[in-house]
Amino acid sequence: MKLKKTGLTCVFLFLACLQLPAAEVKEIKPGSTAKDAKESDQQVGDFSLSGFGDKGKKSWDLAGKSADIFNEVVKLKKVVGNNYAQNDTINLTADNGDFDKKSGLVHLQDNVVITTASGSTLTTDTLDWDRKQQIVKTLDKVNLARQDMNLSGQGAQGQTALKQIMVNKDVRLDIQAQDKKANKKEKIVITCDGPLDVDYEKNIAIFYNNVKVEKPDLTIYSDKMQVYFSPKQQDSASAKGPAVISSSVNKIVALGNVRILRGENTSYSQEAIYTSVDKKITLTGKPQIVIYQTENLDASVGN
C-alpha cells in the first residue's frame, strides 16, 4: 500500500507503545524516580519517526535517545533529524526537542545545528522546523557558515535546505572573496540593520537599511544593496547536485543615499554600480564627486 506524501509513519514499536496502557510501557531510567515517570504518559528510549513520500521513498526522519510521551507532545533528548530533499540531504541536531503530534511541527532547543550536503552549517539556540512547508525559523541569534562566507544576525527564516534565507536584523556578512584580477582573496564585510534576503540558487544577497560594505580599496554606504556572486562552476558529475554559491563577488548595486569613500575621494549619488572585474564604479541619480587625488580611481558618471 502506498503511503500519502502527507502521511506520518512511526516505527512499529512506537505505535504499539502509544496504544498500550502506561503501566505496560513505562520505563524508569537510571537516576530517575517513580515521581519523574508519572510526569509523562510514557517514557521510552531510542524513539524514532519516519515519513515517506511517493513510491515509498523516505522523505524525513526524527530520532531521540529518549522520549517523554505526553498527550499532545513528545519531548525528546539528543535529537537527530534528517530531511531528504531531491538534491540535498539536511541534518538537524539539538540537545532537546518537542514533537507536536497533531501539527507535526518540531521545536529544537539548545545547541541546534543544521548541516547540508552542499556545505552550509547553521547554528542557533532554538529552531522551529515545519516539515510540511519545508521551513525553518528562529528568533534567536544565528550563524550561517558556507565555504568562505560567514553570515550572522538576529532571527531568521528560510528553506530547510538553506538555499533561501532571510535574516531579520543586526546583519553581518564576512566574505573571503576571490579577486580574479589580482588572483588572490580579499576580505569584504557587509553590515546592515536588516533584513537581509539571500538566494543561493540565484547567487544574490539583498541588504536593507543602513547598509555598509567595506573592501580594502573602498567603502560604500546606501539604503539598500544588491550583491551578486559569480556562480560556482560545477563539473558534469555534480551538475545535478546541490546548489552552490561561490565567494567571488561579481557586482554590487547600491541604491538610495549612496556615499562611496575611495582613498581621499568621496562620491554621492542615488545609485552606484561596482563591478569587481575592472573595479569600475558607475554613478547615476544626481552624482557628485569630490576628488582629492586621481590615483587608482576609475569612475564613470551616468545620467
- What are the helix (H) ranges across the chain? 12-19, 22-25, 34-37
Q: Where in the chain is the domain with CATH 2.60.450.10?
A: 1-132
For the entire predicted model, the pTM comes to 0.77
Task: Tell me which of 214 and 6 has the higher pLDDT.
Answer: 214
Phi-psi region of 111 (alpha: psi -120 to 50; beta: other; left: phi over 0): left
Band (pLDDT 50/70/90 cuts) for residue 236 is very low
The contacts of residue 228 (CB under 8 Å, 6+ apart) are 203, 204, 249, 250, 251, 252, 253
259-275: average pLDDT? 92
The domain defined by 163-303 carries CATH number 1.10.3470: no
158-199: per-residue pLDDT in tens? 988 888 999 999 999 999 876 666 667 889 999 999 999 999
Task: Read off the C-alpha cell for 82.
Answer: 534528517
Between vectors from CA 241 to CA 118 and to CA 163, what angle results, nearest 5°? 50
Domain 1-132 has CATH 2.60.450.10: yes
